[in-house]
């Protein structure tokens, strides 16, 4: 019986995601988008992320395949802004199985999604990630991203009773 070739750059295939890939993509995301690196609630990995992006822009939902399994994925979309003639390419999620990270899979996915976005008329790509996700920041810098802009998120817990200072009567 022929052996399944090991996953590696040489037998890496980047292709469009199909419905059959959803469970594997979802589980890889669960593995790599951990609470430590994705603490804000506005960036929550769940099955709707996959289906929504797949429905809106199938061409920008890619998987990397090798050795008979999905190794990683990149999910993106395009955005047009009011008052801007530019089309932006938003790479929303990119994830590679933990055991094969730093093996070139992420770069392969990025190259293909960038090419596809360019074909769609995108003039600028954007990404976002937690400020402390240094591996991802290094990865994006390696792909040419720069001009890091910081963004502040604040929260207000509505279940806590507010502690109003009592006003002393004269």
Ligand X SMILES: CC(C)(COP(=O)(O)OP(=O)(O)OC[C@H]1O[C@@H](n2cnc3c(N)ncnc32)[C@H](O)[C@@H]1OP(=O)(O)O)[C@@H](O)C(=O)NCCC(=O)NCCS
Per rule CB under 6 A, is residue 25 in the interface with ligand X? no
Q: Are 89 and 117 in contact (CB under 8 A)?
A: yes
Structure tokens at 149: 């802009």
Count of residues binding ligand X (CB under 6 A)? 21
89 binds ligand X (CB under 6 A): no
Which range binds ligand X by CB under 6 A, 10-18, 98-106, 149-157, 159-167?
98-106
Which of 14, 25, 53, 96 binds ligand X (CB under 6 A)? It is 96
Under rule CB under 6 A, residue 40 binds ligand X = no
Q: Are 111 and 76 in contact (CB under 8 A)?
A: no
Regarding 66 and contact with ligand X (CB under 6 A), the answer is: no
Size of the chain in residues? 170
**67, 101, 111, 112: which one contacts ligand X (CB under 6 A)?**
101
Residue among 70, 122, 69 at smallest CA distance from 91: 122
**Shortest Cβ distance from residue 73 to ligand X (Å)?**
9
- 102 near ligand X (CB under 6 A): yes
Pair 95, 28: CB distance under 8 Å: yes
Site for ligand X in 126-165 (CB under 6 A): 129, 133, 135-136, 138-139, 142
Residue 27 touching ligand X (CB under 6 A):
no
Please report how many Cα atoms fall inside a 13 Å half-sphere around the Cα of residue 47, on the Cβ side.
5
Q: Does 69 bind ligand X (CB under 6 A)?
A: no
DSSP track, 15-59: EE--GGGHHHHHHHHHHHS-TTT--STTS---HHHHHHHHHH-GG
User: What is the binding site for ligand X (CB under 6 A)?
Assistant: 32-33, 37, 93-96, 101-107, 129, 133, 135-136, 138-139, 142
């Amino acid at each position: 019986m022929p052996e399944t070739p090991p996953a590696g750059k040489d037998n890496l295939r980047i292709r469009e995601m199909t419905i059959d890939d959803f469970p594997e993509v979802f589980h890889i995301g669960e593995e790599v988008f951990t609470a430590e690196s994705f603490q804000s609630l506005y960036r929550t990995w769940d099955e709707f992320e996959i289906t929504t992006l797949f429905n809106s822009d199938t061409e920008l939902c890619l998987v990397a395949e090798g050795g008979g399994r999905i190794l990683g994925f990149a999910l993106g979309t395009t955005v047009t802004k009011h008052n801007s003639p530019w089309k932006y390419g938003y790479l929303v999620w990119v994830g590679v199985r933990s055991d094969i990270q730093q093996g070139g899979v992420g770069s392969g996915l990025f190259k293909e999604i960038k090419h596809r976005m360019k074909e769609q008329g995108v003039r600028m790509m954007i990404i976002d990630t937690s400020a402390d996700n240094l591996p991802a920041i290094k990865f994006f810098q390696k792909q040419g991203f720069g001009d890091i802009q910081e963004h502040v998120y604040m929260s207000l817990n509505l279940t806590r009773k507010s502690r109003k200072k009592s006003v002393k009567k004269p």
